[in-house]
Structure 1
Amino acid sequence: MTRRHDLDTLRIGAFGLLILYHVAMAYVAGWDFHLKSVHTAEWLQWPMIALNRWRMPLLFAISGIALGLCLPAQGRWRFALRRGGRLLLPLLFGIVAVVSLQAYCEAVDKGDVTPGLGAFLWRYWQFRPWPGASFSGAAYGFTWNHLWYLAYLI
């Protein structure tokens, strides 16, 4: 299969907007997010609403088109297993090494966990529920937060 540079360009643009969207979430007044800045602005709501209407459908359309183009005519189970393996490792790494830091920052910011990254990570990596903690996924003991997209692609 030849490389589709048009899809690559769309994907890069979509993920660039997605990154800007998530950075701006910390500054939008009146919207809940994992971490919020003390400096918020109401005017950010309108561009965020406009972007919110089509950002996820665009990502799913690009992913569906790319999957459809690379799906083999035969050997689909082997393809699915290889794809699942390639996506599962980054998802697991993200849950353990990346999102755990976000959960720590959120829990400390909300006052539910005392500062101390080492103690938090030791407890977090046991994958047990956190009664009373208010970071996303505390009821399950871990979270994939914004890596849910990888799980959906699997």
Structure 2
Amino acid sequence: MTTQRRFDIDWLRVIAIALLLIYHIAIVFQPWAMFLGFIKSEELMEELWKPMTLLNVWRIPFLFFVSGMGVYFAIRKRNWKELILERSRRILLPFLFGIIAIVPIHFLIFQAYYKLPLGYSAHPAHLWFLGNIFAYVLILAPIFFYLKKSENGAFKKKLAVWMSNPLGPLSLSLLFVLEVILVKPQVFEMYALTWHGFFIGILAFFCGFLLVYSGDTFWKTALKWRWVYLGIAVGMYLTRWFAFDLVAPGYLMAMESVTWILAIFGFGYRYLNKPSFALSYLSQAAYPVYILHMIALHAAAWVILPLNWPVLLKFLAIIVFTGLFCFVIFEFLIRRIPILRPPFGLSAEFKTKSAPRSPAFLTDQV
């Protein structure tokens, strides 16, 4: 199996998680924030939602794609028992720890802010993503290891040829269209704790694995046709905006999602496939920040929303507060205290300095 270093994949994962934080903060300023368990600002910024809907259709499927790619890298040096053990340590442990120690804190902040009775029952909240990923590993491991053993077989050769055609990657959208037709989600963007989220996630996870498994042909195609994929994605988004008031039929949103993802991979491959110490640090920080960020966000909302500030300043201040809170907790506690590292998906060993590592190792953290 290829050992090519791929820094762009991990950069894209870091960027996607950063966008996730901003997306969640934008929810605070929407009228339906409390319905999703977010503290709601009395002053709204509903104009934020139109750019947020651009992210909505691809941000979660994209992370599932990247996670599937991470499994491809992981099985290069592991058998199936080692993969399950490693995924239990890096995914199942943080998932269970989060349900016990992270989710209750931001639930209690929400309850205290609204003076509700304090209480908690086990709930994955934003960590549902980890539960899905672990399930996908268990379900798809036999297929992944079969493909690993037959890497020189006819399937991979045909897949590589098909991915050399610009229609090859686009054809993946048909799987996502089929999912929408069969599952019939009421809201395409409702991924958390829904059957739609589970099935679209497993499709994206499997497709992410296949894209890397197909070899260099996919990346060359994504690079060559990135502007076309981007043009299709932008055109479909504008159609959704002006023709459907942002709520297009699910099959169109599924196709738009895949074209955004293909364009992102193409541009990432062109501009982000470079090592750096910033990448090494941010790649390590991304997973703990994802686990921790809802506590920071709720705390920021509690402190900042009551202030007599302009609403735009509150939005920016919550972004800064959330980012700084996560940085301080990660840098001075999680990163440096060995016992805290495994529950946040990190190895127990702490190194003050390290050379940039390949995303072959880094993307398999999530």
Match of 1:86 in 2: 90
Shift of 1:4: 2.3
Partner AA of 1:17 in structure 2: L
RMSD across aligned positions (CA): 2.1
**Which protein has the larger Cα radius of gyration, Structure 1 or Structure 2?**
2
Please give the secondary structure, in 1, of the residue aligned with 2:19: helix
Equivalent residue in structure 1 for 2:42, among 32, 38, 44? 38
Unaligned runs of 5+ in 1: 115-119, 125-140
Please give the secondary structure, in 2, of the residue aligned with 1:8: helix
Match of 2:9 in 1: 7
Unaligned runs of 5+ in 2: 135-366
**TM-score between the two structures when normalised by the length of structure 1:** 0.73
Please give the secondary structure, in 2, of the residue aligned with 1:86: helix
Rate the CA distance shift 1:2–1:70 in 2: closer, same or farther, 3 A: farther
Q: % of aligned pairs identical?
A: 34
Say if 1:14 and 1:59, in contact at 8 Å, map to a contact too. yes
Shift of 1:111: 4.0
Match of 2:81 in 1: 77
Q: Which one has more relative contact order, counting CA pairs under 8 Å at least 6 apart?
A: 2
Match of 1:62 in 2: 66
Partner AA of 2:75 in structure 1: L
Match of 1:99 in 2: 103
Rate the CA distance shift 1:74–1:11 in 2: closer, same or farther, 3 A: closer
Partner AA of 1:25 in structure 2: I
Residues of 2 paired with 1:97 and 1:73: CA distance?
32
2:117 aligned with 1:142, yes or no? no
Residues of 2 paired with 1:43 and 1:88: CA distance?
38
Deviations 1:44-70 (A, max 9, x none): 121121110111111111111111222
Rate the CA distance shift 1:27–1:84 in 2: closer, same or farther, 3 A: same
Residues of 1 paired with 2:44 and 2:64: CA distance?
30
Residues of 1 paired with 2:7 and 2:76: CA distance?
20
Q: How many pairs does the alignment contain?
A: 130
Please give the secondary structure, in 2, of the residue aligned with 1:37: coil
Shift of 1:3: 4.5
Shift of 1:42: 1.6
Match of 1:28 in 2: 30
Match of 1:47 in 2: 51
Shift of 1:72: 3.6
Shift of 1:145: 0.5
Residues of 2 paired with 1:74 and 1:18: CA distance?
31
Partner AA of 2:125 in structure 1: N
Higher helix share: 2
Say if 1:29 and 1:45, in contact at 8 Å, map to a contact too. no
Shift of 1:107: 2.5
Residues of 1 paired with 2:78 and 2:96: CA distance?
29
Name which of structure 1's ranges 93-102 and 69-78 shifts more when overlaid on structure 2: 69-78
Say if 2:74 and 2:83, in contact at 8 Å, map to a contact too. no
Say if 1:7 and 1:66, in contact at 8 Å, map to a contact too. no
Match of 1:151 in 2: 131
